[in-house]
Amino acid sequence: MKGGIVYSNFVNTVSPHHAWEARTSEVGCGLGHTLHMYQNKFGGILNGIDYTFWNPEVDKLIPYNYSSEEFETKAKNKKALRERLWLAHDEKKPIIAYIGRLDEQKGVHLVHHSIYYALHREAQFVLLGAATEAGINTWFRHEKSFLNDNPNAHLELGFNEELAHLIYAGADMIVVPSNYEPCGLTQMIGMKYGTVPIVRGVGGLVSTVFDRDYSQEIPPEKRNGYVFYQTDPPALESAMDRAIGLWYHYPEEFQKLALQGMAYDYSWNHPGEDYLKIYEYIKA
């Protein structure tokens, strides 16, 4: 890897913030100094989303298509999600989701905590994910059994493409509490579906999600979610509490935040242009 960095024409990672982390923190796995020495040919370009596949306007895997102009139709998908997973039909509760692997990289301890904090705050929680280690698999199978009769929680252990689309379309919020995340697609997909992301401020997460209350460099009309930084439960709770509180007490403001997220373009249009610039840089 070090030889590749030294002798390549350019080195790229999948978000600008992760590129900074790789040079300055333990995320660089010992290669930080080398990347610093060659930073003139090292950069980060965000991954993109295929909006022909991840798009509530044309998604063939959700029961009701919708756009930002027809945002109220999202509620029909929420109802369909509750019916599919046998959740209580309680319109007075938001649905919070997690979609992704269950492993240390994804902050599995905070994923677990988010389930019970959501229930504590009178929200519903839906999880779709597969464990990558036997111990984590056993842990979450126990949790699934424990919560099996809870009308406000559903844990689906494994991966189901169709269900993933329905969760994105039906949930109000999605948590992404990763320990590290070079780019992350979950938060970008969630925003396209009007599902407000609650993320840890690392890698591509902090490059794409801008906190509603604390992103001073981003104007209020461009903010699109909630961000926390530490890896302990109180940090996660602080962000979830603000998101759930907005949903309960200021529903119009919550919908405005969701629509601001939908307005972002995280397709391949911009990354494609950036990759072309790299090739032009190399050629020159």
CATH label of the domain that carries residue 181: 3.40.50.2000
Instruction: Specify the pairing of strand 153-157 against strand 173-176.
Output: unpaired
Dist CA 53 CA 240 (whole Å): 29
Give the SS3 label for residue 21.
helix
* Residues 134/102, Cβ–Cβ less than 8 Å: no
Supply φ then ψ for residue 258, to 5 degrees: -60, -40
Instruction: Calculate the alpha carbon distances from 107 to 232, 236, 237 in Å.
Output: 10, 11, 14
pLDDT of residue 259: 98
Q: What is the pLDDT of residues 155-192, one digit of tens each?
A: 999 999 999 999 999 999 999 999 999 999 999 999 99
Question: Looking at the structure, do residues 159 and 36 belong to the same domain, yes or no?
Answer: no
Question: Looking at the structure, do residues 165 and 101 belong to the same domain, yes or no?
Answer: yes
Question: Looking at the structure, do residues 133 and 165 belong to the same domain, yes or no?
Answer: yes
> Is there a domain that residue 55 lies in?
no
pLDDT of residue 240: 98
Whether the per-residue pLDDT at 284 is higher than 90: the answer is: no
> Is there a domain that residue 169 lies in?
yes
Question: Looking at the structure, do residues 195 and 145 belong to the same domain, yes or no?
Answer: yes
Dist CA 284 CA 280 (whole Å): 6
Question: Looking at the structure, do residues 160 and 199 belong to the same domain, yes or no?
Answer: yes
Question: Looking at the structure, do residues 72 and 171 belong to the same domain, yes or no?
Answer: yes
Dist CA 170 CA 124 (whole Å): 12
Mean pLDDT to the nearest integer, 122-128 = 98
Question: Looking at the structure, do residues 28 and 130 belong to the same domain, yes or no?
Answer: no
> Is there a domain that residue 150 lies in?
yes
* Residues 67/59, Cβ–Cβ less than 8 Å: no
Q: What is the pLDDT of residues 88-114, one digit of tens each?
A: 998 899 999 999 999 999 999 999 999
Question: Looking at the structure, do residues 212 and 91 belong to the same domain, yes or no?
Answer: yes
Question: Looking at the structure, do residues 109 and 9 belong to the same domain, yes or no?
Answer: no
Question: Looking at the structure, do residues 105 and 172 belong to the same domain, yes or no?
Answer: yes
Q: In the sheet where 173-176 sits, what is the strand order?
A: 153-157, 124-129, 95-99, 173-176, 196-200, 226-228
Tokens of 30: 């010992």
> Is there a domain that residue 58 lies in?
no
All residues at 6 or more sequence positions from 52 whose CB lies less than 8 Å from its CB, including other chains: 58
* Residues 243/196, Cβ–Cβ less than 8 Å: yes
Q: What percent of the chain has pLDDT over 70?
A: 100
Mean pLDDT to the nearest integer, 112-132 = 98
Q: What is the residue range of 204's domain?
A: 68-262
Question: Looking at the structure, do residues 80 and 217 belong to the same domain, yes or no?
Answer: yes
> Is there a domain that residue 53 lies in?
no
Q: What is the pLDDT of residues 197-248, one digit of tens each?
A: 999 999 999 999 999 999 999 999 999 999 999 999 999 999 999 999 999 9
pLDDT of residue 209: 98
Domain count, the chain: 2
* Residues 44/69, Cβ–Cβ less than 8 Å: no
> Is there a domain that residue 99 lies in?
yes
Dist CA 106 CA 27 (whole Å): 14
Question: Looking at the structure, do residues 41 and 103 belong to the same domain, yes or no?
Answer: no
